[in-house]
């Protein structure tokens, strides 16, 4: 009979392998079209950064977590643990920030012509790159403070003074520093989640108004159809709702881990949930965004038409 640890390792490796392939496919697609001079939507730059953040989370978490469940916990020294954990935290923060940016971008993009967002709507393409740059800088600076608290398993001398996270550990902290750490890391997340919820609600409201308007205009010569803006908004709403669901579940488990002695099932469940959105995200995009399939056909057709040497 297969042991639970082997099943968990298979789950972690499968998550990592499937998710990385999906995200790398999107990165390859957007990069190929960009470097060959093909026209891309402004939103595609945001989606490419989301795919990059997801890949970073999966590679820095899932693979090593799978090895840890097999008992291979002493692979990293202090420096290796700091680098891997830092990359994971930066990837997680970047994923949250890019999702927030994506939700806000689409809310402004579908706003009515007579709304207060009209001036901002025309300038959005110029603001995308600076916004993405800020999304990278903030988590990189925010997570520098955690580096001094991390240790590799090889350095652990007194396990009663550390919390073990599979392949890394964190030094025990005083109640004051723990509270400060919680504020520094929880407050920005709460602000982003509030913004995502607000923009998602606004988009649902606009879609409802659009649906009501289409119903009023319905006649024998006019049939309701799904406009590109509507389909794009529905795709982003699906993506954002998936992110929020997994993020909240993971946050609940993380809070439980910090309020009690971490148990193996809590550690593994939290790690699995943390990798669910990065794994699912590219396939949500591929299946719901028809433009991505057109990009793939364009790339495939371009390669097929090239003469053999």
Report pLDDT digits (tens) over 46-105: 999 999 999 999 998 888 888 878 777 667 777 888 888 889 889 999 999 999 999 998
User: Side-chain half-sphere of 287: how many Cα atoms within 13 Å?
Assistant: 8
Say what the pLDDT of residue 68 is. Answer: 77
Domain count along the chain:
1
Is residue 303 situated within a structural domain? no
Is residue 306 situated within a structural domain? no
**What range does the domain containing 75 cover?**
4-216+223-297
**How far is residue 153's CA from residue 158's CA, in Å, rounded to a whole number?**
11
Is residue 161 situated within a structural domain? yes
Is residue 71 situated within a structural domain? yes
SS3 state of residue 174: coil
Is residue 277 situated within a structural domain? yes
Is residue 121 situated within a structural domain? yes
In this structure, what CATH number is given to the domain that contains residue 270?
Answer: 1.20.1070.10
Is residue 304 situated within a structural domain? no
**How far is residue 251's CA from residue 271's CA, in Å, rounded to a whole number?**
11
**How far is residue 292's CA from residue 235's CA, in Å, rounded to a whole number?**
12
Is residue 308 situated within a structural domain? no
**How far is residue 102's CA from residue 143's CA, in Å, rounded to a whole number?**
22
Query: Residue 249 corresponds to which tokens in the numbers above?
Result: 């579940």
Q: What is the pTM of this model?
A: 0.84
**How far is residue 306's CA from residue 303's CA, in Å, rounded to a whole number?**
5
Say what the pLDDT of residue 73 is. Answer: 67
User: Side-chain half-sphere of 62: how many Cα atoms within 13 Å?
Assistant: 27
Q: Whose CA is closest to 196, among 284, 119, 278, 106?
A: 106
């Amino acid at each position: 009979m297969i042991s639970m640890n082997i099943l968990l390792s298979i789950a972690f490796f499968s998550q990592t392998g499937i998710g990385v392939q999906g995200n790398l496919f999107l990165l390859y697609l957007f990069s190929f079209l960009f470097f060959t001079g093909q026209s891309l939507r402004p939103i595609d730059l945001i989606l490419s950064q989301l795919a990059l953040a997801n890949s970073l989370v999966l590679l820095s978490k899932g693979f090593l977590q799978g090895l840890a469940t097999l008992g291979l916990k002493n692979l990293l020294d202090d420096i290796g643990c700091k680098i891997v954990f830092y990359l994971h935290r930066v990837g997680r923060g970047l994923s949250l920030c890019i999702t927030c940016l994506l939700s806000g971008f689409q809310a402004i993009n579908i706003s009515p012509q007579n709304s207060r967002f009209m001036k901002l709507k025309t300038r959005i393409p110029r603001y995308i790159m600076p916004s993405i740059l800020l999304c990278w800088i903030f988590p990189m600076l925010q997570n520098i403070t955690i580096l001094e608290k991390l240790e590799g398993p090889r350095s652990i001398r007194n396990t009663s003074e550390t919390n073990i996270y599979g392949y890394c550990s964190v030094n025990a902290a005083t109640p004051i520093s723990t509270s400060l750490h919680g504020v520094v890391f929880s407050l920005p997340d709460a602000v982003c989640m509030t913004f995502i919820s607000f923009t998602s609600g606004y988009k649902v409201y606009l879609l409802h108004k659009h649906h009501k308007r289409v119903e009023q205009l319905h006649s024998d010569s006019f049939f309701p159809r799904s406009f590109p803006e509507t389909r794009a908004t529905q795709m982003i709403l699906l993506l954002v709702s998936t992110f929020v669901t997994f993020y909240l579940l993971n946050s609940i488990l993380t809070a439980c881990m910090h309020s009690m002695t971490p148990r193996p099932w809590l550690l593994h469940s939290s790690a699995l949930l943390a990798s669910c959105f990065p794994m699912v995200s590219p396939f949500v995009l591929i299946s719901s965004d028809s433009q991505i399939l057109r990009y793939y056909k364009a790339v495939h057709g371009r390669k097929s038409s090239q003469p053999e040497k």
